[in-house]
Structure 1
Amino acid sequence: MTRSHILTFGFILIVGVSVLAFTLGATFEKPNIAKQPEKSSVEAGEMLYAENCASCHGVQLEGEPNWRSPKDDGSLPAPPHDRTGHTWHHGDALLFNYTKFGGQAALEASGVTNFNSGMPSFADLLSDQEIWDILAFIKSTWPERMRETQRGRTLGEQMEDGT
């Protein structure tokens, strides 16, 4: 097994454990709506994405180069949000909280303390609705099969949360 495979496996394991722990009960604020509100605007989200996300995640949602390989500080480069990434593997509540509170807070709330996330919190920069609009834009770029899978993850979060 190459170093690259080991790092990729380690990252997938950490993210998987994080997602599981998060969905079983994170200690920080949950969104008022655990799924994408119907009134979300893909158009507004596209503009907000360009202003707030594209500098790291790419103008075409392509992510940073070598996004699976850790940087010198141990954090991973920003992943793609297009169909080549893993964003569509996560439910709405996780995506919302990861964006609002930042990756480090989301990971620490789920018990992962040995992972350095470079994702900042946008709680002071974006309203909840603006975060939902950005997520609506990102999701609008995925093929239907991926959107369907992501909707299933959101339903799973809701069942676990009782909403």
Structure 2
Amino acid sequence: MRRAATIGAAIVALSAIGFAVLAQSETDEDLVEGLSFLGEPVTVADISAGQALYAENCASCHGAELEGQPDWRRRLDNGRMPAPPHDETGHTWHHSDWNLFIVTKGGVGAVVPGYESDMPAFEGILTDDEIADVLSYIKSTWPDRQRKFQAEVSVNDKGDL
């Protein structure tokens, strides 16, 4: 009887260890050093998913290489601004994670009420996690200087978290 109880306790203990290992699915090797989104660590898988989602949903306007539309600082004939680049030559890295998330989810009008833009709202098209992955991919392409600046801006803007 004692032996059965000991074996049972060992099985319970090993099961608990197994669940703990599975729950911690991200290893240090999976995390991208120095990159987070809304304070959460970013993994290689997040960036890979974001790259694919960017190609499907964003590249047609912002460019396959994140280069934006030509002459992106000059208004179009319709009075709207062209899609800016998301690489280090644009202004995306000047904005906090929260601001970028809200603009992507709700469109520019969600941040600047009444502002007319060709930027669609992706709410209902992309999940919050998918938006975070796209933005993590974009951030992963920036040089250290831009990433550090943007990280500091993000620390000071937590939005409605």
TM-score by length of 1: 0.71
Decide whether aligned partners of structure 1 residues 162 and 121 sit closer, same or farther in structure 2, where only a CA change above 3 A counts. closer
Which 5+ residue runs of structure 2 have no aligned equivalent? Answer: 1-36
In the other structure, the counterpart of 1:51 is 56
- Residue ranges of structure 1 left out of the alignment (5+ in a row): 1-33
List structure 1 segments (4+ residues) > 6 angstroms apart after TM superposition: none
Q: How far did 1:72 drift?
A: 1.2
Instruction: Note if contact 2:49-2:134 (Cα within 8 Å) is conserved in structure 1.
Output: yes
Matches within 5 A, 1:72-111: 72-108=77-113
Aligned pair 1:35/2:76, yes or no?
no
Deviations 1:135-158, CA, capped at 9 Å, x for gaps: 010000000111000000001113
Deviations 1:76-98 (A, max 9, x none): 00000000000000000000000
Larger Rg belongs to: 2
The higher-RCO structure (CA 8 Å, 6+ apart) is 1
Shift of 1:52: 0.3
Number of aligned residue pairs: give it.
Answer: 123
- Taking structure 1 as reference, are residues 84 and 39 closer, same or farther at Cα in structure 2, changes over 3 Å only? closer
Aligned to 2:129: 129
Cα distance, 1:116 vs structure 2: 2.2
Aligned to 1:61: 66
The answer as to whether partners of 1:36 and 1:132 remain within 8 angstroms in 2 is no
Please say if residues 104 and 119 of structure 1, whose CA atoms lie closer than 8 Å, have aligned partners that are also in contact. no
Secondary structure of the residue aligned to 1:107 is coil
State the alpha-carbon separation in 2 of the partners of residues 133 and 141 from structure 1.
Answer: 13
* Counterparts of 2:138 and 2:78, CA distance in 1: 28
C-alpha distance in structure 2 between counterparts of 1:162 and 1:53, whole Å: 25
Correspondence for 2:156:
156
Q: Give 1:36 deviation, angstroms.
A: 5.0
Q: Report the alpha carbon displacement of residue 162 of structure 1 after superposing the two structures with TM.
A: 8.2
Q: State how far apart, in whole Å, the 2-side matches of 1:104 and 1:138 are.
A: 21
Distance 2:124 2:49 in 1: 18
User: Normalized against structure 2, the TM-score is what?
Assistant: 0.72
Which residue number in structure 1 is paired with residue 75 of structure 2?
70
Write the distance in 2 (CA, Å) between the matches of 1:63 and 1:45: 17
Change (3 A) 1:61 1:134: same
How far residue 73 of structure 1 moved from its aligned partner, in angstroms, is: 1.2
Question: Does the 8 Å contact 2:42/2:136 carry over to 1?
Answer: no
Name 1:145's counterpart in structure 2. Answer: 145
